[in-house]
Amino acid sequence: MNTATIKFDAFESLKNEDCQDRIIEAKKTLGDKIVILGHHYQNETVYRHADYSGDSLKLAQYVQNLDAKYIVFLGVHFMAEVSNILSRPEQITVLPDLSAGCSMADMANLAKVERTYRELSKVLDFDKTITPITYINSAADLKAFCGEHNGIVCTSTNAPNVLDWAFKKREKVLFFPDQNLGRWTGHKMGIAIEDMPVWDPDLPLGGLTEKQILESKVLLWKGHCAVHQMFRLQHIEKFRELHPEGFVISHPESPFEVCQNSDYVGSTEFILNTITQAKPNTKWLVGTELNLVNRLANEMKPEGKLVQFMSHVVCECSTMARIDPQHLSWTLENIIKDNPVNIISVPKKEAELAKLALDRMLEIS
């Protein structure tokens, strides 16, 4: 029987330690009624409670095979939307704090993408010439746009396969919202930098000439990840001076020159696997989110591996960090009372179109 929703005010002043005990107790009470998914960038204070962890692709794949009624997502809004889209209709996805968003995802919205579609359609036949690709770090309505226009979603793990798929369909790609991932992936495929101009949605015709558009292979949306954008070539140069035998590994959301000067470039899963499987006593400079690097550094200490965060500036994913023990315990205790809070529900038509784009991605992954 439903009872009144517990207000967050009752949890806001709780200490982390008290919340940890309440989370453990709530999980025991709920049993297999819930499953908690945690992204690698999540803070350790809540990450420890995840039943499954991974990057965006891995978590999306998990969602398809879960039996729990409630999926509690330790991540950001677009991840919870993907969970809602890919899960069964009777399953409920909740996000402990609705303010956990993504600054990169916010750099592309449906109004700007649809305006881009109209502008490009004046220069060429968009639907016959361009495959729209949205990075999974985007809102559900952008995934729906791609579904409607025979486009697709990609992650940092499968971006090369997705671009390869896209070019077999049409001659050009519109890639949003992360220009760095699009540029690096295109570069690895042998596409010249000048054939991948940046489309600025706030300028007429993206700030490009018709000639640039017609001669382009990939139109890169002017967007980026605030965390990965902070990494610089000088960080790598300093590390190599101190540890000439060391290795540099970066996420492809990093700036182009950082990727160019790294020994390895890949997704969070790739970074974790590469360092975990490396020889003992090796040294690593890592260009990705702080929480993941710190966790990995602690795990690798027994093997004598040095794992160092690339930037001298402490930069974690601030929106991801909004999921804290207070919000998680509040969320779980409301589920116990059969009054789930912060339910993520994508409108039906939007979800259907977005699922088309996501299914295309999952099929070729």
Structure confidence by residue, pLDDT tens digits, 249-302: 999 999 999 999 999 999 999 999 999 999 999 999 999 988 889 999 999 999
The string of pLDDT tens digits covering residues 131-187 is 999 999 999 999 999 999 999 999 999 999 999 999 999 999 999 999 999 999 999
174 DSSP β-pair partners:
132, 219
Which CATH superfamily includes the segment(s) 105-225?
NadA-like (3.40.50.10800)
Longest dimension (CA), the chain: 65
| CATH code of the domain made up of 9-101+319-346 | 3.40.50.10800
263 DSSP β-pair partners:
none
Q: Determine the average pLDDT of the residues in 63-70.
A: 94
Could you tell me the two tokens for 342?
């912060």
The string of pLDDT tens digits covering residues 186-245 is 999 999 999 999 999 999 999 999 999 999 999 999 999 888 888 999 999 999 999 999
Counting every residue written for the chain, the total comes to 365
Instruction: Please indicate whether the domains covering 105-225 and 228-309 agree at the CATH topology level.
Output: yes
Tell me which fold the domain 228-309 belongs to: Rossmann fold (3.40.50)
Domain borders along the chain are 9-101+319-346, 105-225, 228-309
Could you tell me the two tokens for 15?
């200490």
